[in-house]
Amino acid sequence: MDRQVCYGVDLDGTLAHHDEWKGGNFIGKPIPKMMEKVKKWLSEGIKVVIFTARADDPDNLEAIIDWLDDNGLPELEVTNIKTPEIKRFYDDRAIQVVKNEGTIIGDESLINDSHVEVSAQQKLDDMYNQGIKI
């Protein structure tokens, strides 16, 4: 029996707008483009897990579940633990590396020792929208 496909989606800066930390109970407005993708995946039977550092504090979970409900998403699993079940991650801080090779995929000029100047997720979205397979 095949396992259900599962994607991990970051909350702050990926699914919800985020400029600065304003406390565990504050979550920014939804990002429409990513919300559409998550709803599409769910309609296709893909399991979506909210993968967020906020899950480190159990007191934040209720605010996350409420935010999902307020924004038209079902109660999804929320975690900060990477598991083999999650086959793909969507995160504004991620830089993809070729498995077992260490080669960075995409434009290394996006990487700066202190921060990522351009969202890696935006770069991946641009590549996807251009039909580039990664």
**Could you state, in order of their start, the residue ranges of all structural domains in the chain?**
1-91, 93-134
- For residue 95, what pLDDT is reported? 78
Query: Looking at the predicted structure, is the pLDDT value of residue 8 above 70?
Result: yes
Q: Is the pLDDT of residue 72 over 60?
A: yes
- Whether 9 shows a pLDDT value over 60: the answer reads yes
pLDDT at residue 111, rounded to an integer: 58
Q: For residue 116, what pLDDT band results from cuts at 50, 70 and 90?
A: very low
Contact 104, 124 (CB under 8 A): no
- Looking at the chain, the whole-number percentage of residues with pLDDT higher than 90 is 59
Residue pair 21/11 in contact (Cβ under 8 Å)? The answer is: no
Q: What would the mean pLDDT of 14-43 be, rounded to a whole number? A: 93
Phi then psi for 96, rounded to 5 degrees?
-80, 140
Percent of the chain clearing pLDDT 70 (strictly above): 78
Tell me what the pLDDT averaged over the chain comes to.
85
1-91 CATH, one of 3.40.50.300, 3.30.750.24, 3.40.50.1000, 3.30.1450.10: 3.40.50.1000
Q: DSSP H helical segments within 44-97, as ranges?
A: 61-70
**Mean pLDDT in residue range 85-91:** 92
Averaged over 16-42, what is the pLDDT? 93
Tokens standing for residue 9: 């989606």
